[in-house]
């Protein structure tokens, strides 16, 4: 019984430490994302209509999303955003399952960023 309790505590702690963080996109500062990788998980069409500067476009709905993400260093901070925060949250969950260590979901997405007077980069 004692082993079962210890195992449960260990697994609970391991799951808690692997959780990703979610922060409002309005709190993102340039120097934070420079310490990691900023990823726009929207479609290429959405990305080309405007995006955050220095963001890589890796379409969460694309068949090769997982393969492209697996090319990244799992110990580097990964900042994820989409249009409103739904796809980026789903992407964060997947990255967590793939073993990424420092995942930050940017809540509110590109829409909230623009509404907060964020300055987009346009084009590719």
Better pLDDT: 33 or 26: 26
Question: Which of the following is catalytic: 82, 95, 103, 106?
Answer: 82
Is 82 marked active-site?
yes
Rounded CA-CA distance 105/73 in Å is 17
State pTM to two decimals.
0.81
b/e code 81-108 from CB counts within 10 Å (16+ = b): bbbebebbbbbbebbeeeebeebbbbbb
* Over residues 54-83, mean pLDDT: 97
Backbone Cα Rg of the chain: 16
| In the predicted structure, residue 120 carries a pLDDT above the cut 90 | no
Cβ(76)–Cβ(36) under 8 Å?
Answer: yes
DSSP H or E run through 66: helix 65-70
């Amino acid at each position: 019984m004692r082993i079962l309790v210890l195992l449960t505590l260990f697994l609970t702690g391991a799951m808690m430490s692997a959780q990703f963080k979610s922060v409002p996109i309005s709190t993102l500062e340039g120097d934070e994302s420079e310490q990691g990788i900023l990823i726009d998980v929207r479609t290429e069409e959405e990305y080309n209509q405007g995006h955050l500067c220095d963001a890589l476009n890796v379409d969460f709905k694309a068949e090769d999303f997982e393969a492209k993400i697996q090319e990244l260093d799992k110990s580097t901070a990964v900042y994820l955003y989409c249009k409103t925060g739904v796809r980026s949250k789903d992407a964060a969950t997947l990255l967590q399952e793939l073993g990424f260590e420092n995942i930050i979901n940017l809540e509110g997405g590109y829409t909230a960023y623009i509404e907060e007077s964020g300055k987009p980069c346009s084009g590719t």
